[in-house]
Amino acid sequence: MKGGKVSERAENVFPFYVMDIMARAQALEEEGRDIVHMEVGEPDFATPPPILQAGKQFLELGDVHYTKAQGLPALREKIAEYYRCEYQVKVSPERIFITPGASGALTVALAALVDEGDEVLTCDPGYPCNNNIVNLFGGKARPLEVKPGDNFQMTGEVISQAWTNKTRGVMFASPSNPTGTMVSPAQLRDIIKAVNEHQGFLISDEIYHGLVYDRRAISALEMSEDVFVLNSFSKFFGMTGWRLGWLIVPEYAVSAANRLMQNLYISAPTTSQYAALSAFDAETLKILYQRRDEFKNRRDVLYTGLKALGFGLFEKPQGAFYIYADCRAFTDDSYVFALELLEHAGVATTPGKDFGTSHPERYLRFAYTTSIACIREGLERIKNFLAAKEG
């Protein structure tokens, strides 16, 4: 059919503004400009050698067939063991699903929970795909403003005030993208309490666990068995391109998650699953902990640097690899400011607009997914740009 059109649900999935930034950055690089990339939400490190080695060994056999829809039993055992050691919680491997990235975990969880018109409370600012996938399944994401004073996180009070008879559940991420901030233990307890009082579901996005610098990350599973937990081999384990994550579901959703996995994915990539069997080895974890230290150092350099330049920063973010910086000292439109920073300072960042509608024009997200030398260079360039702008 000539002149066809796509579904309304697809029309309502908006493009990411950072794509414009990245396209322009690429164009500038092709012209010979040097760009400091602080827009990228992906670790710059290569996959740890023991994981690569396991992947290559698996490929030697050539037997790259489907796995069970739920994932390799041995990998689910290892994840269960990781929860025992890391969080002191017992999670049956029967409740663990190996998914194509945390994207797959998010999709399965939402498909298992959301019916037409169901309202899901999400964080604003937050990861934009959350809202989009809720809406793709006919639900209605309702982003709630989360405030600097609450670590840019939900609170039980915010949830209870927002709850309507259409509300079915809540999603949050700790550490958060774009803010890197975390829920406190008391805050998490209150969130769970509020959700339980309304007999709703809770989806806890824990994909940045592991990349937490000054405290221990708490899993929602430590406080409740009846939560959906998303996690990923992408960020802490350095396996982005392998497309591998996991989903932990309450007992009552095991059958549904299995049927959804079969229909939506058949199974997660097989080589990635075998490679990930080495992700929890002591040798691998040693490398990952070194990288975590490096991320912590980068954060400290970037945080101190941005503060010195006059960006508005709150408490130092505790995790992930993001700083969400208030730019009101320099602009009343952070998107325009991001374009200027790119054009005139050669620094790429992600504008607040990509993360919601609560004062996004105030903020830029800086990702410290680049070396300390590059971060220092970026800070220097911003300093010169701001000086020139004032002058």
Residues 200-239 that bind a copy of itself (CB under 8 A): 200-202, 226, 239
Number of residues interacting with a copy of itself: please give it, by CB under 8 A: 81
**In which residue are the tokens 């130092």 written?**
316
Please state the closest distance from residue 85 (CB atom) to a copy of itself, in A: 26
Nearer to a copy of itself, 184 or 270 (CB): 270
Which 131-160 residues touch a copy of itself, going by CB under 8 A?
132-133, 136-138
Q: What DSSP line would sit under 150-167, residue for residue?
A: GTT---HHHHHHH--TTE
Q: In angstroms, give the least distance from the CB of 342 to a copy of itself.
A: 19
Interaction pattern, residues 16-35, with a copy of itself; x per rule: CB under 8 A? x-------------------
Q: Is residue 250 within 8 Å of residue 228, measured between CB atoms?
A: yes
The answer to the question of residue 377 lying near a copy of itself (CB under 8 A) is no
Does residue 56 interact with a copy of itself by CB under 8 A? yes
For residue 277, state whether it binds a copy of itself (rule: CB under 8 A). no
When asked if residue 185 is in the footprint of a copy of itself (CB under 8 A), the reply is: no
Q: For Cα atoms 55, 47, 258, give the angle at the middle one, nearest 5 degrees.
A: 60
* 271 scored as a contact of a copy of itself (CB under 8 A): yes
User: Tokens 């004032």 identify what position?
Assistant: 390
| Cβ proximity to a copy of itself, 257 vs 325, nearer residue | 257
Contact between 129 and a copy of itself per CB under 8 A: yes
**In the complex with a copy of itself, which residue's Cβ is closer, 138 or 185?**
138
Strands 228-232 and 245-248: antiparallel
Structure tokens at 126: 């937050």
Q: Where are the alpha helices (DSSP H) in 95-253?
A: 101-113, 128-136, 156-162, 185-197
65 part of the interface to a copy of itself, by CB under 8 A: yes
Cβ atoms of residues 230 and 207 within 8 Å? yes
Does the footprint of a copy of itself cover residue 64 (CB under 8 A)?
yes
User: Is 293 buried (19+), middle (13-18) or exposed (0-12) by CB count in 10 A?
Assistant: exposed
Q: Which tokens sit at 36? A: 């400091």
31 or 63: CB nearest a copy of itself: 63
Q: Contact between 283 and a copy of itself (CB under 8 A)?
A: no
The alpha carbon of 23 is separated from its chain's Cα centroid by a whole number of angstroms, namely: 22
CB nearer to a copy of itself: give 9 or 389: 9
Question: Which one among 116, 164, 165, 282 touches a copy of itself, defined by CB under 8 A?
Answer: 116
Which residue, 252, 248, 279, is CA-closest to 53?
Answer: 279
